[in-house]
Chains A and B, each alone.
Chain A
């Protein structure tokens, strides 16, 4: 469904991605794990079209999306929950969700109902400014907003960052639920254990390129991964 081939992306003068190649197949949950600065977020921003790769190519459903502008990529069905959630702080919860439906993919009213069913707390707070929500609620809002464009592929950047363990597990359960409903998921996580458990396959990014990949459970049992990313 999504294929990155030898992608090089520069972040200012720094080459953040040095020939990244990976793929995500229809219906999968795939995770990218790696340390800070390994290039995980850059990879997602490159897929979404916010950053332009210097070399290489990206295909989504067989069509090259390299150099395509972000709003067009969203319309093709790739939606992102970025790092730090990036809620529009002064828009209400409801307006944030409406912005998610800006592209007009899918029926906004029924998508809104779906998001409210998934996260009832958002319905309770629909008139509140987005910036006043707690971290966990903001994460739910960010995911809900991304779902409002009825994506085929959902990119999630560090959804568990800064959240209490109980909220994290709720978020991960929700991601599984979203995937069961047919949305393909590409997940970037520092919390490698939870991410690998959830994922069919995983890629390890190191210094801007893929150093290891395999099935989620295989990576969980991999000696190198255990040492470097699971803290054992």
Chain B
């Protein structure tokens, strides 16, 4: 029972972590809480349904399921990344030098716009993501893990490791860290800060798209409102870990998933959504910067 809940918690926690990374990276660079980020995740789920339906219609899904899923994933990521890129250019960049509150309001506006845009074009009712794997999985002692859970956890781990290597070792990754620490100085050494910001949005949105697609497969149901609660939880995860920190977002996400899953089964599942925030309040009281955060976090 306990181990079973740990597996379930890790699954959903790694999805939270993927979304939290987008919040944390954007905050690290722009000190902006990108409230539209949850909507990108929601778009990822919808785009997954749309592209998979297309591949099913042309017969690819029946012919080669892994290929159809892979193409669905790639296309969702590309579309969500373009959404993220465009949102930054249209809604945040013009407000780069405005008072701090303005881009925040703009972010909320984008979020509301995207929710309603999807509701109008896709309808207000739940959409079903086809059951591709059924409940097939494997038994390990007393724990049962579905293949889908395994895929979700492995995909998340691979993406997080790849992100870490990217940020640590590549030229663009170093530029991102430099911009996060001092934008003016970064531009004085020749970094095009606008490009770095765009890349940050593209990566964050791509990760959210993967999360959206995986959750759509996991729960099987999608509606235009799923970005809201997932966004708030992932944001909580990012704050829990220390917003701005990549490591913090990963740990925060996984911790949140575990707390929800264990709390839901041992205490009461009716308060499932509240556990996240109880933990958040405790962490912020004890360590205001978050688990891996900087102490001097007075901004926003």
Contact = CB atoms under 8 A, between A and B. Distances in A.
Nearest to B192: A71
A71 B182 contact: no
Nearest to A90: B181
B178 A88 contact: yes
Given A89-B181, A90-B181, A70 B174 contact: no
B299 interface: no
A102 B189 contact: yes
A103 B177 contact: no
A199 interface: no
B283 interface: no
B185 A74 contact: no
Given A71-B191, A75-B190, A145-B189, A99 B184 contact: no
Q: Give the dominant DSSP class at B's interface.
A: helix
Given A71-B191, A100-B189, A86 B178 contact: no
Interface in B239-298: none
Contacts of A69: 187, 192
Contacts of B182: 86, 88
A50 B188 contact: yes
Contacts of A149: 189-190
Contacts of A48: 188
A105 to B, nearest CB: 8
Contacts of B177: 88, 90-91
A148 B188 CA distance: 12
A82 B190 CA distance: 14
A71 B187 contact: yes
B186 interface: yes
A189 interface: no
A98 interface: yes
A80 interface: yes
Nearest to A130: B181
Contact of B185 (A49, A82, A105, A148): A82
Contacts of A90: 177, 181
Contacts of B192: 69, 71
Contacts of A103: 189-190
Nearest to B181: A88
A100 B178 CA distance: 11
A98 B181 contact: no
A60 B274 CA distance: 61
Contacts of A3: none
Interface string B172-211: 0011011001101111111111000000000000000000
A79 B187 CA distance: 11
A99 B187 contact: no
B267 to A, nearest CB: 39
A50 B191 contact: no
Nearest to A100: B189
Interface of A: 48-50, 69-71, 74-75, 79-80, 82, 86, 88-91, 95, 98-100, 102-103, 105, 145, 148-149
Interface of B: 171, 174-175, 177-178, 181-182, 184-193
